[in-house]
Chain A
């Protein structure tokens, strides 16, 4: 331990602590911008400078380690003046259009400018004048707003190992650019959107499509139907001023009805369906010598990653479409028949914690219904905006039920939103189907938690099945490299592109630290625990779907509507 004094307060902190950590320990918030609690120290913005007794120059609190007897002052006039000047210089290169920015009121630079009451900036405004990158259907870049903190680069290269983003040039010419200075769509970007969470400002964001929804709602010929992904409910609470998970599902439904949706259904229904199809696909591969290990295929960022970096291993991916796309294919066929609504009148919307889902919905092969299966994907953040625009007070809104046939779900579907959830859900069903006996304890706790790679061996009537779970594509890469080298010991692997799984997806409320992801994960397992039905195969609406329409898992109709194939993206460079 090291004894230091911060603003006159004596504190003992572990060796190798930084000034920032020491200050935090005594309840002093030193301002930061390039610093990110879950990333390496960058120390490039200098906003966190402090005075250290005996040092002529100010020190960056995020990078300066403490030493025995160190005396730090975090708010002297000299420090304040330096921070203000630094902020003024950053703002002199930053477009002053906060009102029009999608990060308005949720921007680290804006907050700092307010906290340090920047009024008249003595530096002349010189915006770079760079074009926006609108090349992908999922996310855009506005390089003029970039403050060069490089957090997006670390998210993309270290956490996701995609390396779509890098630095071009140096000094005052330095810029964050997609690989080779090209557009995102030419780069290896897999559209996970983790860069959006990393960005402190509005330099990267999701492609906003609320206007398309409003046009569909206004069209009297369209029946606007929506599905809600498992990880959305608990996070959309954060967007409407409630605590994580505090918006009850039926009140969420009522809010969507208020906005103008004709029918609200649930992706959880097809999450349960996914388990039926994917569980049976796994059993079939195990029994018939199919390609192993089998990888889950729910996460479109992960699918893009596999198609980009591991085109030689695409046969290892489950052929199951993601729950979103299963839903899309069924809503314009099965559900249209059930409800007696012409499929061409259905406008199918999905509410997703994800930006890659926008790309997935637009894939040309996703038209098994004879139409585009999912017409529009809105992120959790966009739905938050929609609710705020609509002026809904969720505390006063009476609950409303889902529409029938594709909205029942079990706890197994709920946990799809967390890393390990698909694996746990699959095991609950596979166990009972294979063993033909009821599971006493449904909690496969090995599958839970934030560890990068989790693994276990399960015994299915004498067959030892080795399973693994990875979240964040850097961890997925480790497991893929094992497969490529012919050294994978596993039979079944769950991959989620985003850290924490869908609860940390690129479309979720801006997530500044992993602690928030953990909080959402907790809310997910609480919801599962509270449910009466927690196994996909006992979902009555899923049973009805098989009895009346699909006949059996992996049957002819399933293959037509619920399964897909993958393509090498043939990226020119990685």
Chain B
């Protein structure tokens, strides 16, 4: 589905802009500029405000990024449990630095705040699905699920 079709579904949802943004991001992994412009029109808001909403929430990305979004917690409990090594392993496996996307557009690698799974640190999420007690050795296997 392209963003126009997705937006059309939310046309009559009062205050549906954020829901529409989620739906678009589920499909495209980020919010393209044109989608923000179109959403502003649809919900009768100026583009500056629609952009304000899109950039306010850290779970929305207004920059193009890879399809599968890998996030690693940068909070203290994961840090103590060795998150830095996991980050290195992810960077090596994907061949990119954190904050970037792979050239083939399959993966984006980002930090996140605590995801509330501190009983099993370090934690990473892929497209929102959590993986617990991640070690550098587990990284290749997790990524392989999405290749």
List residues of chain A with CB under 8 Å of any chain B CB: 157, 163-170, 178-181, 187-188, 572-574
Contacts and interface: CB of A to CB of B under 8 A. Distances in A.
Contact of A168 (B40, B46, B47, B55): B55
A573 B40 CA distance: 9
B51 interface: yes
A150 B33 CA distance: 24
B56 A180 contact: no
B46 A181 contact: no
B46 A163 contact: yes
Contacts of A181: 51, 55, 62
Among A167, A178, A188, max chain B CB count under 10 A is at A167
B36 A180 contact: yes
B69 interface: no
Contact of A166 (B33, B37, B48, B62): B48
A188 B45 CA distance: 13
Contact of A187 (B48, B49, B62): B48
B46 A157 contact: yes
B52 interface: yes
B49 A168 contact: no
24 contacts: A157-B46, A163-B49, A164-B48, A166-B48, A166-B49, A167-B52, A167-B56, A168-B51, A168-B52, A168-B55, A169-B56, A178-B48, A179-B46, A179-B47, A180-B37, A180-B47, A180-B48, A181-B55, A188-B46, A572-B37, A573-B37, A573-B47, A574-B40, A574-B46
B48 A169 contact: no
Given A179-B46, A573-B47, A574-B46, A166 B52 contact: yes
Given A169-B56, A572-B37, A573-B37, A180 B46 contact: no
Contacts of A188: 46-47
Interface residues of B, number: 13
A169 B61 CA distance: 11
Contacts of B37: 180, 572-573
Contacts of B62: 181
B41 to A, nearest CB: 8
Contacts of B52: 166-168
Given A163-B48, A180-B33, 18 more contacts: A163-B46, A163-B49, A166-B48, A166-B51, A166-B52, A168-B51, A168-B52, A169-B56, A178-B48, A179-B46, A179-B47, A180-B51, A181-B55, A181-B62, A188-B47, A573-B40, A574-B46, A574-B47
A92 to B, nearest CB: 24
Contacts of B33: 180
Contacts of B36: 180
A110 B34 CA distance: 41
Interface in B98-124: none
B16 to A, nearest CB: 20
The 3 closest A-B pairs by CB, nearest first: A166-B48, A163-B46, A179-B48
A372 B51 CA distance: 39
Contacts of A170: 55-56
Among A166, A181, A188, A573, max chain B CB count under 10 A is at A573
A163 to B, nearest CB: 3
Interface string B27-69: 0000001001100100000111101100110000010000000
A164 to B, nearest CB: 7
